[in-house]
Amino acid sequence: MSQRRQDRGATPTNFSLVLILVSDLTRNKLRVLLYLMVVTSAVTVVLASHLNRQQNIAMEKLMQQKDDLDVEWRNLVLEQRALTEHNRIENEVEKKLDMYRPTADQEVVVKLK
């Protein structure tokens, strides 16, 4: 009896891992398909969340740029209003061009035919 045990243990077991894997994969096609679908779905979720984050970052940069441009526009509007005030224009004309508003005696009315 001990001889039989030795004979069994002495026989080399030559299993090819590749052949075992291929045979298991061909037997369980539905499981393999489901596994591949789960892996594909997981990769798609990761990719979609990454792209979403990139789009959010780009949107935040554009919103910041919009806010900066809005502040600059408001400052330019204030500057334009300050530069076009009637009193300021009169003062600049009097100082730089030595012009003044004519009196009633100096006004001349021109009549057209």
In a domain, 106, yes or no: no
Domain membership of residue 113 (yes or no) is: no
Whether the predicted pLDDT of 103 surpasses 90: no
Q: pLDDT category, 95, cuts 50, 70, 90?
A: confident
Q: How far is residue 38's CA from residue 31's CA, in Å, rounded to a whole number?
A: 10
Residue 11: pLDDT band with limits 50, 70, 90: low
d(CA 31, CA 25): 8
SS3 85: coil
Q: What is the pLDDT of residue 36?
A: 93
Judge whether 93 and 99 are in contact, CB under 8 Å. Answer: yes
What is the C-alpha separation between 43 and 35, in angstroms, rounded?
A: 12
What is the rounded distance in angstroms from the CA atom of residue 55 to the CA atom of residue 75? 30
Any domain includes 38? yes
Residue 107 domain-assigned (yes or no): no
Number of domains in the chain: 1
Q: What is the pTM of this model?
A: 0.52
* Pure H helices in the chain: 2-10, 17-27, 29-83, 86-96
* Buried-exposed string 94-107: b where 16+ CB fall within 10 A, e elsewhere: eeeeeeeeeeeeee
Domain holding 76, by residue range, is 2-96
Q: Which carries the bigger pLDDT value, residue 113 or residue 61?
A: 61
Alpha carbon of residue 47 to chain centroid: 15
